[in-house]
Structure 1
């Protein structure tokens, strides 16, 4: 990375970090809701977060093929969670 690129990369990294934190918070709240009596609402939040990461992993692959391993890493576990929910839920 060139010194002139630090500002742009920092802005991008901070934005990605913020949305990752938001999704992690959403998952935590959804799981808390599932386990404290609001199963329908909590399940909806968890499934939304998982589906979003499946989409974002796919979109990462579409927009930057070189990051295919990161795309798989982003989409695989949430995708499996959705599949298991559909099969076992």
Structure 2
């Protein structure tokens, strides 16, 4: 795995960890209403998906870090597979996000562009 791919994988992991905090802990904060297309009356209805998506993003961040660590410590095939799968997954999920809700196009770009670049670096 190239140094550029390792660095980008870690950057994406940090981004996903920040998203975890926003989705699972801070989703009720007024500054995040536009990001999630929510309003205070939605909180009870969206709590389940925001918290679950947050933890999903945190475990995905962990997969990227573990992949980099594996690749750097003699398990390159396993590390590369983990990072490549995760990059492909988030590239695909960015497309799903924008197709399912066009107003979230910026969120989809933030998710998809780094993941697509990482995927290209891995292939």
TM-score by length of 1: 0.89
Structure 2 residue ranges without an equivalent (≥5) = 1-38
Query: Larger relative contact order (C-alpha < 8 A, sep ≥ 6)?
Result: 2
Residue 20 in 1 paired to residue 57 in 2?
Answer: yes
2:69 to 17, 28, 32: 32
Aligned partner of 2:106 among 69, 74, 79: 69
Structure 1 unmatched runs, 5+? none
> For this pair of structures, how many residues does the alignment match?
85
CA RMSD, Structure 1 to Structure 2 (Å): 1.1
Deviations 1:38-83 (A, max 9, x none): 0001000000111110011000011001111110110101100111
1:47 matched residue in structure 2: 84
Could you tell me how far apart the structure 2 residues matched to 1:12 and 1:24 are? 18
Q: Select the structure that is richer in helix.
A: 1
1:10-39 deviation line (CA, Å, top 9, x unaligned): 112101101101100110111110011000
Deviation, 1:9, is 1.6
Find the aligned partners of 2:122 and 2:43 in 1 and give their Cα distance. Answer: 42
Matched residues in 1 for 2:77 and 2:46: separation? 39
Q: Detail structure 1 runs of 4+ shifted over 2 Å in the superposition.
A: none
Aligned mates of 1:56, 1:22 — CA distance in 2: 15
